[in-house]
Amino acid sequence: MRPGKFLTVAIFSMLAVCMWSCKKPAVTPSPANVFKFNLQLKAKYGSQSFALNTPNIDSSGRFISITALQFYLSHINLIKTDGSKVNLSSAAIVDFSDTTTLTISGNIAAGDFTGISFGCGLDSIQNKSNANDSVFPNPFSGLWNLYWDMVSEYRFEVMEGKWDTQDTASFRNFLVYHIGTNAAYRSTQLNKNFSVCCNTPYTLTLYIDVQQILSNNTTGETINIVTEPETSSGPGDNPAIMPAFADNFSKAFTF
Amino acid sequence: MKKKILFAFPFALILLALANCKPEPKTKIATTTVDSTYIGTKYTIGSPEIAFAFPSITNPYKDSLTVEGILLGRRLFYDKHLSVNGQMACASCHILSHSFADTIPLATNVFGPNKRKAPRLVNLLWEPYMFWDGRQPTIMAQAQDAAHNELGLNDSTTFAYLQADTVYAKLFKKAFGKPGKVTERSIYLAIQEFLMTVISVNSRFDSVMRGQSTFTPDETAAFYGIFTQTLGECFHCHSFGGNYLMANYLPQQTFRNDGLQAANTINDYADPGRGGITGVSTDYGLFKNPSLRNIAVGGPYMHDGRYNTLEQVLNFYSDSLRYSPNMDQFIALHIDKDTAGNYLPTGGMHWTQTQKAQMLLLLNDLTDTSFLNNPNFKNPF
């Protein structure tokens, strides 16, 4: 190569490198066909409304007040009409004491969908995430209080509450369900036709029916809060509670 | 030479162009020092064992520790001149061989008997609340609170003594660079520096967790079969971030009612605990979760020191739990009930004698003898 030609090439290369290396303002491309999608979580108790620390009446006439409801949803996908999946979130925490966790958002390319699928809990790889490496509000942060010290894994679902047969003045009985281990992971798919399009954020509301967690019409499984009030999914616990809870939980969602 | 210039020229231009790129704005980090003349020797808390066992240190004073400040703090901790009658020091109730706990049920301060047991002082660096009722948020505030309310420290008398004492004059100057000037803040800051270094991380339990030794079958049964299971329920209060030698200091979980005090209403509590500080009805009867570190040498036990031995503590959790308002749910689940669902005056984990013996082994594994014999923690007088 002649020196003059080399010089020309070198200068233009250099300018290209320099322009590339100078920090530019962060601008995320926003294709015209990508729209915001919100998966909004709400809870109900059968036909009753639901809120933490607010009494509901169960099918046996008992007063029941849930004091904590937290869980992981993972691999949340929107299912397209051709069966392919569009990922909304690989893992999200839902904590009904923190409203900021009740909407899972993402940018989704416009399209027609037939439903959503998600995992209840974390897959076996996610379940071994290092809580200390994850800074709050990352869903794997230990500060969500779902990290399970004893096995270095995560609780997938936590439901705590109190109940009484007589009144709501002094709930005298408690229920504590801490569900975890890889055996508790369940997958769920719900069908609903919807379209994401037209410059408008799309919000899909997903209900969890707390009553169905304890007694589920689909699975036919019931957890007796009198005789089965607690599990930490450990080997010393009643072995029937954890799988029944996991089954019921995965079938407690509706649109 | 001409070729060399031609080749060098583009690279020179690149350097020039890069230099012209607008630099990214840098965040200015504010720095604070105790004094502009401060010349202390920096002391850094850190070791592989600490990194393994504890969360990262967020205490804002961690980067301003000095060897001189720590030595001064230790001397103040052991100095009886800080009390109004010259008879008591912090160390009078916080005894090193007992993991800086008292050996009697209720501490006796210069004003008379206290209503609570003087607790162990260990690994305070990671604790967000001080005292059984959590009334102080920092070690320094704790030191100030105790100095005034337990020792009756008189500011003017104490300052005069410390300023007149030639040893202290030198120590304060070395620590804070303020010759002849002793302030209340510098006293408690020094005590805080000392207590920040009071770290225990070398018990047998630690070595097992680090994989340097292994549990015996009985210890395994205690830890994996009782402590970390609903059979024991211990882990709900006595673990944090994977560390079973820390208490649970997550918000809303730091304070608990473990069924120690019998009460029908919140007004029946002999000691309202956290409720006495916050005035919130649901806080009555709650006390701070204590770490179990060095528990075997830290008796008498509970906030009121009612149990002299660990055997008595285990018997309490096994068979003597009583229902009371604001009781922790994990405890309440183990209170016995009649057929109508009413709580009976009996309850507990109902451990066998073998299980109690296994738990006792585990609790003794939490003793860190290197901590108890650490010369850096000993009385300098």
What is this model's ipTM?
0.72
Q: Scanning the structure block, which residue is given the tokens 């604070």?
A: B32
DSSP B37: T
| Amino acid at residue number B46 | G
Select the more confidently predicted residue: B37 or A203: A203
Residues of chain B short of pLDDT 50, as ranges, are: 1-3, 5-6, 9-10, 12-34
Looking at domain B204-372, which CATH architecture does it have?
A: Orthogonal Bundle (1.10)
| A-B C-beta contacts closer than 8 Å | 96
Residue of chain A with shortest Cα separation from B233: A232
Residue of chain A with shortest Cα separation from B248: A145
Residue of chain A with shortest Cα separation from B342: A172
Residue of chain A with shortest Cα separation from B21: A22
DSSP B40: P
Looking at the complex, does the CB of residue B343 fall below 8 Å from at least one CB of chain A? yes
Looking at the complex, does the CB of residue B209 fall below 8 Å from at least one CB of chain A? no
Task: Give the separation between CA B70 and CA B76, rounded to whole angstroms.
Answer: 10
Task: Give the separation between CA B206 and CA B246, rounded to whole angstroms.
Answer: 12
Please name the member of A164, A229, A236 whose beta carbon is closest to the beta carbon of B225: A236
Please name the member of A21, A173, A230 whose beta carbon is closest to the beta carbon of B21: A21
Please name the member of A3, A147, A235 whose beta carbon is closest to the beta carbon of B3: A3
A114 neighbors A80 (Cβ within 8 angstroms)? yes
Task: Give the separation between CA B276 and CA B218, rounded to whole angstroms.
Answer: 41
From the CB of residue B157, how many other CB atoms can be counted at a distance below 10 Å? 13
Cβ within 8 Å of B, A 228-247: 229-232, 234-237
Q: Mean pLDDT in chain A?
A: 88
pLDDT of residue A136: 87
Residue ranges in chain A assigned as alpha helix (H): 3-21, 210-214, 241-250
Task: Give the separation between CA B150 and CA B199, rounded to whole angstroms.
Answer: 24
Q: In Å, how far from its chain's centre is CA B226?
A: 25
Cβ within 8 Å of B, A 126-145: 131-132, 142-143, 145
Q: How far is A11 from chain B (nearest CA, A)?
A: 6
Please name the member of B21, B24, B229 whose beta carbon is closest to the beta carbon of A236: B229
Q: Scanning the structure block, which residue is given the tokens 């840098």?
A: B26
**Predicted confidence (pLDDT) per residue in A82-134, tens digit:** 999 999 999 999 999 999 999 999 999 999 999 999 999 999 999 999 887 78
Q: What's the token pair of residue B194?
A: 């000392």
Q: 3-state DSSP call for residue A37?
A: strand
Looking at the complex, does the CB of residue B50 fall below 8 Å from at least one CB of chain A? no
Residues pairing with B255 in the sheet:
B288
Helix (H) or strand (E) holding B274: none
Q: Which of B16, B250, B8, B23 is nearest to A3 (CA)?
A: B8
DSSP B24: P
Whether residues B230 and A149 touch (CB distance < 8 A) is answered with no
Whether residues B14 and A160 touch (CB distance < 8 A) is answered with no
pTM for the full predicted model: 0.80
Looking at the complex, does the CB of residue B8 fall below 8 Å from at least one CB of chain A? no
Task: Give the separation between CA B362 and CA B204, rounded to whole angstroms.
Answer: 9
What residues does CATH 1.10.760.10 cover in chain B? 48-199, 204-372
Q: Which of B328, B355, B123, B319 is nearest to B223 (CA)?
A: B355
| Amino acid at residue number B173 | K
DSSP A52: T
pLDDT of residue B25: 37
Looking at the complex, does the CB of residue B55 fall below 8 Å from at least one CB of chain A? yes
- Chain B positions touching A131 (Cβ under 8 A) are 241-242
Whether residues A147 and B6 touch (CB distance < 8 A) is answered with no
Looking at the complex, does the CB of residue B1 fall below 8 Å from at least one CB of chain A? no
Task: Give the separation between CA A152 and CA A166, rounded to whole angstroms.
Answer: 40
Which CATH number is B48-199 given? 1.10.760.10
Q: Which residues of A185-216 are buried (b: 16+ CB within 10 A; e: fewer)?
A: bbeeeeeeebebeeeeebebebbbbbbbbbbb
pLDDT of residue A235: 82
Show Cβ contacts of residue A167 under 8 Å, excluding neighbours closer than 6 positions: A63
Q: What is the largest CA-CA distance in chain B?
A: 103
Whether residues A231 and B230 touch (CB distance < 8 A) is answered with yes
Residue of chain B with shortest Cα separation from A8: B10
Q: How far is A3 from chain B (nearest CA, A)?
A: 7
Q: 3-state DSSP call for residue B334?
A: coil
| Amino acid at residue number A199 | N
Task: Give the separation between CA A10 and CA B344, rounded to whole angstroms.
Answer: 89
Looking at the complex, does the CB of residue B111 fall below 8 Å from at least one CB of chain A? no
Backbone angles phi, psi at A159, to 5 degrees: -130, 120
Whether residues B329 and A152 touch (CB distance < 8 A) is answered with no
Q: What is the largest CA-CA distance in chain A?
A: 97
Q: How far is B308 from chain A (nearest CA, A)?
A: 29
Task: Give the separation between CA B220 and CA B317, rounded to whole angstroms.
Answer: 20
* Burial of residue B166, with CB atoms counted within 10 A of its CB: 0-12 exposed, 13-18 middle, 19 or more buried: exposed
- Chain B positions touching A15 (Cβ under 8 A) are 17
pLDDT at A198 over 90: no
Cα–Cα distances in angstroms (integers) from residue A191 to residues A82, A116, A171, B36, B166, in the given order: 14, 7, 38, 68, 82
Q: How far is A22 from chain B (nearest CA, A)?
A: 6
Q: Scanning the structure block, which residue is given the tokens 């993972």?
A: A74
